[in-house]
Amino acid sequence: MTDLSSQPAIEITNLTKVYAGGKRALDNISLAIPRGQIYGLLGPNGAGKSTTINILAGLVNKTSGTARIWGFDIDQNPRNAKNSIGIVPQEIVFDPFFTPFETLENQAGYYGVPRDRRRSMELLRAVHLEDKANAYARTLSGGMKRRLLVAKAMVHSPPILVLDEPTAGVDVQLRQQLWAYVRELNAQGVTIVLTTHYLEEAEELCDRIGIINHGRLITDKPTRELIAMAQEKVVQVTVDRDLDAAPDAACFEKVELSDPRTLTITYMKNRANAGQVLSAVQASGLSIVDVVTRDPDLEDVFLHLTAAA
Ligand code: ADP
């Protein structure tokens, strides 16, 4: 028998989804999300992120391909697959007449969690909603509702938590709280998958990132490797006198005069290095007073990769 614990948290093989009407939302995607990680599924709007999550959640039927959750095939073992994953949906949907406490109790009942093993109050505490336990859900703010959704996704203690665009409409402070909780869960061993189109978010949180565009997986790599793929580097050079025009050199990809004494130079790190760029500035008769370099971020990689796809 196969040892399930050696399998990825989520394994998707040749997954395709064609919606009624003919839209091909997923086109033969294969992807393995390792256990214990915070994994970011990135892509522009309409890329196919929600479709992927909804197939895993059992809300959308796939057209072809297979998906395994914690080793359980979603077709052959739907109950175990479902019990292994908690999903925080993009849309906020609650019965407005239940309190947060009741909402969690109902959800636990739905998953068949016995009463003595329910932990509704503990979950409410974890998402800072303890004092709202008995308020009507409709009186909660948007941020509170989202936190309640996170608690709701965790009632059956799944080993995987999926957050679909978790910070849409969430203010900065709540976002930080949400991330703190997500990190805490991850430290306890929960595998986290989040979809986002905010690159900074993925860059800050995720160990590994997959990028999808037009229903295809264009890359799947550790975050650090992905950032290293950005070839464009920018260096800002301050010189000792005012300039009328920026000098040019073969190793510059682009050069701009940001102010009379500051040159913003873009170069491709596979073709030149900072030393060559600075030598070229000096060779044009200028003295350098200061230098600032900027590391490429995911935005650069993302634009580069989605443009190429
Ligand atoms: P994302 O979550 O990355 O924004 P989605 O998975 O929501 O992308 O959508 C992928 C594509 O499938 C989009 O072109 C979208 O318009 C289309 N789509 C999503 N849901 C449906 C549906 N129920 N019926 C038809 N087309 C859909």
| 27 C-beta closer than 6 A to ligand 1 | no
Asked if pLDDT for residue 1 goes beyond 60, the answer is: no
Asked if pLDDT for residue 209 goes beyond 90, the answer is: yes
How confident is the model at residue 3, as a pLDDT?
A: 66
Distance CA 159, CA 217 (A): 24
Alpha-carbon separation of residue 6 from 1, 84, 218 (angstroms):
12, 15, 26
| 45 C-beta closer than 6 A to ligand 1 | yes
User: What percentage of the chain reaches a pLDDT higher than 70?
Assistant: 95
Mean pLDDT score across all residues of the chain: 90
Distance CA 71, CA 84 (A): 9
CA–chain centroid gap for 294, Å, is: 23
Tokens of 24: 């091909």
Which of 12, 15, 17, 23 should be mutated for ligand 1, with most atoms under 8 A from CB?
23
pLDDT digits (tens, 9 = 90+) for 214-250: 999 999 999 988 877 767 788 999 999 999 999 999 9
Asked if pLDDT for residue 93 goes beyond 80, the answer is: no
How confident is the model at residue 232, as a pLDDT?
A: 77
Do the beta carbons of residue 156 and residue 81 sit within 8 Å? no
| 17 C-beta closer than 6 A to ligand 1 | no
Mean pLDDT calculated for residue range 254-277: 92
pLDDT digits (tens, 9 = 90+) for 25-76: 999 999 999 999 999 999 888 999 999 999 999 999 999 999 999 999 999 9
Do the beta carbons of residue 287 and residue 238 sit within 8 Å? no
| 210 C-beta closer than 6 A to ligand 1 | no
Residue 46 buriedness (CB in 10 A; 0-12 / 13-18 / 19+): middle
Mean pLDDT calculated for residue range 240-264: 94
How confident is the model at residue 248, as a pLDDT?
A: 93
Asked if pLDDT for residue 309 goes beyond 60, the answer is: no
Tell which atom from ligand 1 comes closest to the C-alpha of 47: 3
| 50 C-beta closer than 6 A to ligand 1 | yes
Alpha-carbon separation of residue 284 from 203, 247, 250, 259, 267 (angstroms):
38, 7, 12, 18, 17
How confident is the model at residue 6, as a pLDDT?
A: 75
Q: Whose CA is nearest to atom 17 of ligand 1?
A: 25
Quote the crossing angle between the two packed helices 100-110 and 142-153, to the nearest 10°. Answer: 30
Asked if pLDDT for residue 138 goes beyond 60, the answer is: yes
User: What percentage of the chain reaches a pLDDT higher than 90?
Assistant: 68
Distance CA 238, CA 290 (A): 5
pLDDT digits (tens, 9 = 90+) for 192-205: 999 988 888 888 89
Ligand 1 center to 123 CA (angstroms): 32
| 23 C-beta closer than 6 A to ligand 1 | yes
How confident is the model at residue 4, as a pLDDT?
A: 62
Which has more pLDDT, 96 or 104? 104
Tell which atom from ligand 1 comes closest to the C-alpha of 48: 6
Per-residue burial over 72-87, b if 16 or more Cβ lie within 10 Å, else e, is bebeebeeebbbbbbb
Q: Which domains does the chain have, with CATH numbers?
A: 1-84+158-173+183-228 (3.40.50.300), 93-157 (no CATH), 231-296 (3.30.70)
Do the beta carbons of residue 268 and residue 253 sit within 8 Å? yes
How confident is the model at residue 54, as a pLDDT?
A: 94
Which of 50, 87, 196, 213 should be mutated for ligand 1, with most atoms under 8 A from CB?
50
Tell which atom from ligand 1 comes closest to the C-alpha of 52: 6
| 22 C-beta closer than 6 A to ligand 1 | no
